[in-house]
Structure 1
Amino acid sequence: MRLSKPLLFNTLLILLTAIVPALSLSFHRQSRALLCNNSPSHCTTRYSSVPPQIGSHDSPFIGPLPSQNQNIATSAQLDRGVRMLQAQTHRAPDDPNAIQLCHTDCLLEDAGRLQDWLGEIKTWLEREGNGNEVVTLLLTNGDAISMQAFGEAFKQSEIEKHCFVPGEKEAVVGDLESWPTLSDMIARGKRVVVFMDSGAEPQEGPPYILPEFPYFFETPFGVTDPAFPSCSIDRPPNTPSADGRMYIVNHFLNVEVAPGIKIPDRLRAGRTNSRADVAAQVERCKAVHGGRAASFVLLDFVDVGDWHRDVKGEAGSEGGFLEKAKEAACGLLGGFGWGC
């Protein structure tokens, strides 16, 4: 049977109407699945080589007081594109076996139990749309709390199952090429990388809590000069070379309100957290350290400034890296499809 031209045209139109949106939606989902930490190129990049990501300095200390470094909840920080969360831990005043999130001292700033904060992060990781996100935690341990106590907090929060444990030949100290790619970590379901500044003993405690300074060095902190002139290795001390280590740029500005007393400079956070200011220090440090960029840049008040436009687009919308991915997908579809 031969179809008339009008009938043939209508039949083809119906088929195209049904097929093209389905193909487009399928491709859109695949393109989204290929995004790791906001960029398709990060998926095939080793953890140790991912371009600079923004971190939240003193992430759990939220509010308007001088002892507080952030304005929005940790989950909102992650929504904004933050991929490292730094926090101070101390012994809980009411329970020597519990770990509290306190700024310098629990009398000064107390943000609650460590396991509750970890639970918030776990909930965010398991939220729909966040399955390809790798988050790094950097904990301080000024009270020399046992690794067993930290392990208990991670277990109670149920985030432990997401924590990265290096394989036999993975994450070898001094060998940046031994780290897995983000897509490898995502495929294994190990999307939380944990570092601690002191006391971490993976052989004796939880194997997912890694000692910070064999893997990282940091630039100076407590800076009061808005030019952030120094990219020197501040910690660990007496480290002559950056070779074999990732590094963290401390890009949060303080103001000295009395001799020896510094507080976060909230008033200048807009400039400090601007794309131009962050990029300037990243490039400065890159030049100092042989052309190698930092892994993370720590900021106070991550909801202030326009740094996030390079990550999530204007006002946190899906722009920047995501916009480029969408353009690539639409190009492969010949300009047809949902969102093109």
Structure 2
Amino acid sequence: MEARSDVGVVLMNLGSPDSTAVPDVQRYLNEFLMDKRVIDKPYLIRWLLVTKLIVPRRAPKSAEAYRSIWWEDGSPLIVLTKQLEKAIQHDLQMPVEIAMRYGNPSPAEAYDKLLRQNPQLKEVILFPLYPHYAMSSYETAVEYAKEIYYKKGYGFKLSVIPPFYNAPDYIDAVAESMRPYLQQDFDHVLFSYHGIPARHVRKTDITGKHCLQVNDCCHVKSPAHDFCYRHQVINTSELVAAKLQLPADKWSVSFQSRLGRDEWLLPYTVTRLEELPKEGKKKLLIVCPAFVSDCLETLEEIGVEGKDLFINSGGDNFTLIPCLNIHPLWVEAVVKWCTDMAAKQ
């Protein structure tokens, strides 16, 4: 493949604190939770909630959690995103940088580095590493990257990879990453996704009358599905389960990482981890397809806290299946999608 320097790629992930020190974690949480698409309250209420209530209480506990999963090279999410950058760079033949929605490096740093090293740059492909559309993940990442792009007046074109929750290459990669674990004896597979408030689903419903209002709304065809997180994660799970030929009674979907007392998407992962052993499902495989890189929410929240909850509730065996990280089929998919988009220039 002929190398190109007129098209660059920015892989954009969630982000991480710069270190496990409480001030760094506090700074990161403030930036994250003050995002109006994460906590969608009026600014003053959001500021009071975040700076006076949530972060002062949460930062020390989060710092301890980060310390429990921190690698020698730094934050697992940052390290793994860099590994993905290196892996696709080998085959892509285009310059690649990484950026984070919160923390470092910022999209501006990624854009500027691409331009310094490739003055003839005509297009940047923004690749949000979120398979599913949600205002608090995919949407905020894209809008933030666009805001910086327009504010700084870059001369290159900015193209964006759309959500890929049902893309065959993504489904294949998730399924094949899970397949080796299905060789062991198990009772159930739990697909655990990052939760969001139910009101977010209603807010992104472009019809205003479908999501969480129509009976079995996720399976009734609607334009709302293009922006519906709940529909998309259920669709991902169904496609992966079908690919792996999992019987309907051997898998289910749940939602983790709830914050606050508002209604979030149900069922909650913590509730299901308590219930499954009582249902006779004591050998559990759990996978988190909303995350393409292992991070605090997978390694600590599920791999440590979730495991303890399941075992203490009567479970016998708990296996966390790693995220895609740099699985060969995932690397191939990222390379393919970037190549295809660059060819459209």
Taking structure 1 as the reference length, what is the TM-score of the superposition? Answer: 0.28
Taking structure 2 as the reference length, what is the TM-score of the superposition? Answer: 0.27
Bigger proportion of residues as helix: 2
